[in-house]
Chain A
Amino acid sequence: MQRRFTLKALTAAVAFASLGAVPAFAADTIKIGVLHSLSGTMAISETSLKDTILMAVDDINAHGGVLGKKLEPVVVDPASNWPLFAEKTKQLLGQDKVAVIFGCWTSVSRKSVLPVLEEMNGLLFYPVQYEGEELSKNVFYTGAAPNQQAIPAVDYLMSKEGGGAKRWVLLGTDYVYPRTTNKILRAYLHTKGVKDTDIDEKYTPFGHSDYQTIVADIKKFSEGGKTAVVSTINGDSNVPFYKELGNAGLKAKDVPVVAFSVGEEELRGVDTKPLVGNLAAWNYFMSLKNPTNAAFIKQWSEYAKAKKIPLQMDKPLTNDPMEASWIGIHMWKQAVEKAGSTDTDKVIAAMAGQTFNAPSGIVSKMDENNHHLHKSVFIGEIKADGQFNVVWKTPGPVKAKPWSPYIEGNDKKPDHPAGKSM
């Protein structure tokens, strides 16, 4: 009796569970991959991007999902380990069969996943500013190309308003993004009549924490004329770098530092009072005042509180790559709905010309050909509270030039991914 009852109950339970579990199976959800480092040196920057994607997924699901199906995020941690990025991509595309991947921060991680993407015909949305010199049909770049960040920043610092810099320290972490950006900047500065003796290029390893010599060198270099520092330092090295700047008494009024990978999130936990006036160039700042941004910040604050995200729940911060992730996943959704399918090639075709109301205050448009967004450029100065004052901006959105004209041979490269039928 007892056993029969147990059996019956078990069968019922199994039947019931399988009924309940049906919506969780792949057929009725669309799986998307989230590939951001949640540990290691890049975790400081990438963790909040994972949370942004998860927030967007919740938001989209609450509004009925995509093509009537719910999104199901598959979160993996490539741990700031570049080869692991490729392995995890293989896993996401091969095992989990995700429709799209949102991920990567450093260019070296993007370069690592690129061959896998192209071989398995996956789709990646890359949300961070980068050095250009790449155009893959399998990637949509929602961050800035050099002409949407680096070049305007240098222009600003050269102008009278920006201090009229004559000498340049190009300081970065030793990998492909800083090296390529600095190569472009050096070529650009040459066109502006800056000599090689007035450019000092320096690199540090990932995770470097002793910036004494570098700061002392910058001080010495700056005695020779009005100097500006262009920093492409990535990850948690920025914290000791800015601490050292503050402690050594190097003021932004004398030697301004413009950073391309430092936003609101990286400055959390740094005493920003000695850093007031140092700059960052981005396509979005949390301090921008417009209704879309206000709603974005509100949504993020509520999400961070509800999910008890460490640090963010007490002091919610948004930044440029978060905005780019937000735009990316929404444009992907629109493209899937336009294509009526999650098939990679159909989505790629439908992405061209997609528009979305960006929190930066413009209607962001995906270029018809070159897989990059049209973006406004803002230059902000660090305030005492860790936010940014916008001191300069472009009049409107700028079209990306992934192939910088300042690198030889680029003028012959087409403005659309190779192998894509136009």
Chain B
Amino acid sequence: MQQRRSGTAASVSGMTIAFTGFTMLRRTLHRLLAASLLLLAALQAQALTSEQARAIASGDSEDRIAALNKAVETADDKTAAFIQALSDDAVKTSGDEVFVMKDDKAYDPVSGAELKLPDDADDVINNNLMRSALDAAQAALKLSSKDDKVRAEAAAALFKDPDESRVPIVEKALAAETNPKIKAQLELVRDAGMLTSADKAKRLASAIGLGANTSPDTKLLLNQRLADETDPEVKTAILASVAKIDATLVWGERINAVFSGISLGSVLLLSALGLAITYGLMGVINMAHGELMMIGAYATYVMQGVFQRFLPESLFGFYLVAAIPVSFLASALVGAILERGVIRFLYGRPLETLLATWGISLMLQQLVRSFFGAQNVGVENPAWMSGGLTMLSNVTLPWNRICIIVFAGLVLLAMGWLIGRTRLGLFVRGVTQNRPIASCMGVNTARIDTYAFALGSGIAGLAGCALSQIGNVGPDLGQNYIVDSFMVVVMGGVGQLAGTVYAAMGLGILNKFIEGWAGAVLAKIAVLVFIIIFIQKRPQGIFAVKGRSAEA
């Protein structure tokens, strides 16, 4: 609305100028002068013409971009509105006519009048090339904005798609710019635009100037130019700038590698923590551990459904928070039933436990398949977990990974507190260290077993809740993590919480380090080989249980 009103204002002022010119013509009869004035007025306030709109909206991308860049040079508010509509995919064409769509109604881009949309109208399709050009055009128009933030964004966007034809616009904006930060950015844009100039001096200045900016985009620009550059002097300048940028970027790459290692480590840690209790402390070889994680993930999915169906959309982002206790309780409940119903009869018989829990894992998978179907279900990231945190020009840390690292840390702390500082934890440790003596002291060991197993299962559920945010949720989710979980617990040393943490982080970083260098397939194999060798040399894991702990 705003734009249309100001558009009308522009055409009114154009008419006023024309009218003044007309009276002048009548009064002084200096026809020639008046005619040129008219032309000038028309040029200055040249509104978007329908020919321009048609040329921008239809034809080959290359011609469209040329028309667009031309229109930007003499742009007014209508041009801006039209470009906006184009990048919103709200423009249709039919034959020679161009329509701007708004709320299912068609408008003329030039006059703003409402039109009847013919049935054969086609959407204007913008490919990547066209979209980049549209973004750059919009950015060029925004350079004169009063808002610092808009100008900064515009300068950043222009840098992505430099073009020599825009250098004059940028120069103009530079002259008017007062904010030093935006000024620096604009200088870069100008340099980038001149990189393809036919003038060697300009290219040289540009190549040296760009070395000051250490972003991957700059490196790409320089490298692209390097491929076509013929002048040796400019070539050396480009190479020097690239080397300078590389020296800075290498730090970002290191941070990336370490972060992805920690992130994988935190996933391993989450999936192994529950097992550290059920297998590590209690000695139950629980092959259904992965399925307890799967139940946690499905509980998250159910909560997502509940929020979608029963609660207002504004609250949807919180479904994950609500899913945390739900997934814990769901898995803990299944775990408790499992322990009461099956596992308590099998203590001290590891082989039977292994087989029984494996059978249970298959049953749980089939149960989920019958309820939710064999296909994966979609669990969405809430909006606050999408996107990433840009730390350096080449380091973007995804929010969902950051959240999971933090979450893993919190779960670890809570578990450490529960086992190390509470009465329940004391009983659990007592029972696992020496069952008969604990029993003599009046501890109800059977009940403690159930609690401990339910706790371990609940933590598996939390892991499932977290994993639903980064991977697929399907009936066989657990199968992908069960081997990893056992790997971590065995390597850390059975019965050692600290060992689990070290093993998870160590394996995560090791895996990512090898992957960066030998690929994902080899990394997986290499880690397994490493563990086999490690366990052969040191069967008790990183940390051995010291002292006289009696076998339960």
Among residues of A, the one whose C-beta sits closest to the C-beta of B385 is A247
Q: Which of A38, A39, A226 has the most CB of B within 10 A?
A: A39
Take A225-B224, A247-B400, A254-B160 as given contacts and tell me if A202 and B519 are in contact as well, using a CB distance cutoff of 8 Å: yes
List residues 85-134 of chain B with CB under 8 A from any CB of chain A.
89, 123, 125-129, 131-132
Q: Does B44 contact A (CB under 8 A)?
A: no
Report if A217-B131 is in contact (Cβ < 8 Å); known contacts: A239-B472, A310-B373. Answer: no
Contact residues in A for B470 (Cβ distance below 8 Å): 209-210, 240, 243
Which residues of B lie under 8 Å from residue A389 when comparing CB positions? 123, 125-127
> Are B472 and A222 in contact (CB-based, < 8 A)?
no
Are the C-beta atoms of B520 and A205 separated by less than 8 Å? yes
Nearest B-chain residue to A213, judged by Cβ? B515
Kindly provide the distance from the CB of B255 to the nearest chain A CB, expressed in whole angstroms.
Answer: 10
Q: Given A39-B369, A39-B475, A249-B388, A244 and B398 touching (CB < 8 A)?
A: yes
Contact B128 A203 (CB under 8 A): no
Residues in A with CB closer than 8 Å to B474 are: 43, 236
Given contacts A44-B375, A204-B520, A271-B381, contact A253 B132 (CB under 8 A): yes
Is B223 a contact of A311 with CB atoms below 8 Å? Answer: no
Interface centre among B135, B375, B516 (most CB of A within 10 A): B375
**Which of these, B131, B132, B249, B520, contacts A203 with CB under 8 Å?**
B520
Given B89, B257, B378, B524, which contacts A205 in the complex, CB threshold below 8 Å? B524
Within the complex, the shortest CB–CB distance from A223 to chain B, in Å, comes to 4
CA distance A311 to B372 in the complex (A): 11
How many angstroms between the C-alpha atoms of A365 and B125 in the bound complex?
30
Q: Are B376 and A204 in contact (CB under 8 A)?
A: no
B contact residues around A220 at 8 Å (CB):
216, 249, 253, 394
Whether B396 lies near A248 (C-beta < 8 A) is yes
Q: Which residues in B have their C-beta under 8 angstroms from that of A381?
A: 127-128
CB nearest to A227 among chain B residues: B220
Instruction: Choose one: B60, B216, B373, B475; the contact of A219 (CB below 8 Å).
Output: B216
* B378, B386, B520: the one within 8 Å of A269 (CB): B378
Chain A 157-170: CB-based contact to B (< 8 A → 1; otherwise 0): 00011110010000
Decide: A209 and B520 in contact? CB cutoff 8 A.
Answer: no
Q: Are A213 and B257 in contact (CB under 8 A)?
A: yes
Please tell me which one of the listed residues B127, B249, B259, B264 contacts residue A223 in the complex, with CB atoms under 8 A apart. B249
Q: Are B512 and A213 neighbours in the complex by a CB distance under 8 Å?
A: yes
- With CB as the reference atom, state the residue of chain B lying closest to A161: B61
Residue contact A277 to B398, C-beta cutoff 8 Å: no
Within the complex, what minimum Cβ distance (angstroms) separates B337 from chain A? 25
- Asked whether, in the complex, the Cβ of A240 is within 8 Å of the Cβ of B472, the reply is yes
| Residues of B close to A204: CB separation below 8 A | 520-521
Nearest neighbor of A77 in chain B, beta-carbon distance? B374
- Mark out the residues of chain B between 469 and 484 whose CB falls within 8 Å of any chain A CB in the assembled complex: 470-472, 474-476, 480
B223 A225 Cβ-Cβ under 8 A: yes
Tell me the smallest distance from the CB of A389 to a CB of chain B, in Å: 5
Q: Is the CB of A212 within 8 A of B375?
A: no
A47: CB under 8 A from chain B? Answer: yes
Question: Residue A417 at the B interface, CB < 8 A?
Answer: no
Interface residue count for B (Cβ, 8 Å)?
Answer: 62
B390 (CB) vs chain A CBs: closest residue: A249
Q: In the assembled complex, which residues on chain A have CB atoms less than 8 Å from the CB atom of B264?
A: 210, 212
Q: Does B260 contact A (CB under 8 A)?
A: yes
In the complex, chain B residues 300-333 whose Cβ is within 8 Å of any chain A Cβ? none
In the complex, chain A residues whose CB is within 8 Å of the CB of B78: none
Cα-based distance from A248 to B387 in the complex (angstroms): 7
Contact with B along A128-162 (1 / 0, CB 8 A): 00000000000000000000000000000000111
Contact indicator B375/A311 (Cβ below 8 Å): yes
Interface members, chain A 195-241 (any B CB < 8 Å): 202-205, 207-210, 212-214, 216-217, 219-220, 222-226, 236, 239-240
Q: Which residues of B contact A202 (CB under 8 A)?
A: 519-520
Known: A44-B375, A239-B472. A247 touches B386 (CB 8 A): yes
B219 A223 Cβ-Cβ under 8 A: yes
A256 to B515, alpha carbons, bound, how many Å? 23
Query: When chains A and B are docked, how far (Å) is the Cα of A155 from the Cα of B135?
Result: 25
Q: Which of A292-315 contact B (CB under 8 A)?
A: 310-311
| Nearest chain B CB to A154 CB, angstrom units | 15
Is B378 within 8 A of A161, CB to CB? no
Q: Is the CB of B62 closer than 8 A to any CB of chain A? A: yes
A residues within 8 A CB of B259? 212
Cα distance, A214 to B521, chains bound together (Å):
12
Q: In the complex the two chains form, is B472's CB within 8 Å of A253's CB?
A: no
B376 in contact with A236 (CB, 8 Å)? yes
B-chain residues with CB within 8 Å of residue A391 when the two chains form the complex: 125, 127
The residues of A that contact B399 with a CB separation of less than 8 Å are 247
B374-A47 in contact (CB<8A): yes
Contact with A along B55-73 (1 / 0, CB 8 A): 0000011100000000000
Set of chain B residues within 8 Å of A247, measured between Cβ atoms: 386-388, 396, 398-401
Q: Which residues of B contact A174 (CB under 8 A)?
A: 521
Contacts of B260 in A (CB 8 A): 210, 212-213, 216
Which residues of the other chain, A, contact B386 by a CB distance below 8 angstroms? 246-247, 271, 274
Alpha-carbon distance between A85 and B42 when the two chains are bound, in angstroms: 73
Q: Does A268 contact B (CB under 8 A)?
A: yes
| B476 adjacent to A40 (CB under 8 Å) | yes
B256 at interface (Cβ–Cβ under 8 A)?
yes
| Least CB distance, B217 to chain A, in whole angstroms | 8
Docked CA distance A258–B390 (Å): 25
- Kindly provide the distance from the CB of B498 to the nearest chain A CB, expressed in whole angstroms: 25
Given A210-B264, A225-B220, answer yes or no on A162-B375 (Cβ-Cβ < 8 Å): no
Q: Which residues of A contact B398 (CB under 8 A)?
A: 212, 244, 247-248
B441 at the interface (CB under 8 A from A): no
A243 to B472, alpha carbons, bound, how many Å?
11
Q: What are the residues of chain A within 8 A of B440 when measuring CB–CB?
A: none
Whether B516 lies near A222 (C-beta < 8 A) is no
Question: How far apart are B74's CB and chain A's nearest CB, in angstroms?
Answer: 26
Residue on A nearest B161 in the bound complex, by CB: A253
CB distance from A227 to the nearest CB of B (A): 9
Chain B residue nearest to A270 in the complex (CB): B378
Interface core residue of B227, B253, B376, B387 (most chain A CB under 10 Å): B376
CB < 8 Å: which of A203, A256, A271, A310 contacts B380? A271
Known A213-B516, A249-B390; judge A161-B129 contact (CB<8 A): yes
Q: Does A390 contact B (CB under 8 A)?
A: yes
With A209-B480, A223-B249 in contact, do A44 and B524 touch (Cβ < 8 Å)?
Answer: no
Q: Provide the residues of chain B in CB contact with A217, threshold 8 Å.
A: 516
When distances are taken between beta carbons in the complex, the residues of chain A under 8 Å from B249 are: 220, 223
Find A163's partner among B123, B128, B376, B521 (CB 8 Å cutoff).
Answer: B128
Q: Is there a chain B Cβ closer than 8 Å to A252's Cβ?
A: yes
Once bound together, how far apart are the Cα atoms of A174 and B123, in whole Å?
39
B357 at the interface (CB under 8 A from A): no
Q: Are A223 and B381 in contact (CB under 8 A)?
A: no
Interface assignment of B196: CB less than 8 Å from any CB of chain A: no
Chain B residue numbers with a CB within 8 Å of A163 are: 128-129
| CA distance in complex: A209, B219 (Å) | 30
Contacts of B135 in A (CB 8 A): 253
User: Can you list 28 A-B pairs with a CB-CB distance of less than 8 A?
Assistant: A43-B375, A47-B375, A161-B61, A161-B127, A202-B519, A203-B519, A205-B521, A205-B524, A210-B264, A212-B263, A212-B512, A213-B257, A213-B512, A213-B515, A216-B260, A220-B394, A224-B220, A225-B220, A239-B471, A240-B471, A246-B386, A248-B388, A249-B387, A253-B131, A268-B378, A271-B381, A389-B126, A391-B127
Chain B residues in contact with chain A, CB under 8 A? 60-62, 89, 123, 125-129, 131-132, 135, 160, 216, 219-220, 223-224, 227, 249, 253, 256-257, 259-260, 263-264, 267, 369, 373-378, 380-381, 386-388, 390, 394, 396, 398-401, 470-472, 474-476, 480, 512, 515-516, 519-521, 524
The 6 A-B pairs at the shortest CB distance, nearest first, are namely A269-B378, A247-B398, A212-B260, A39-B374, A209-B471, A391-B127
Apart from A216-B256, A269-B380: 16 A-B pairs, beta carbons within 8 A: A160-B62, A161-B127, A162-B127, A163-B128, A209-B470, A209-B480, A213-B516, A223-B249, A236-B376, A236-B474, A240-B471, A247-B388, A249-B387, A249-B396, A252-B128, A389-B125
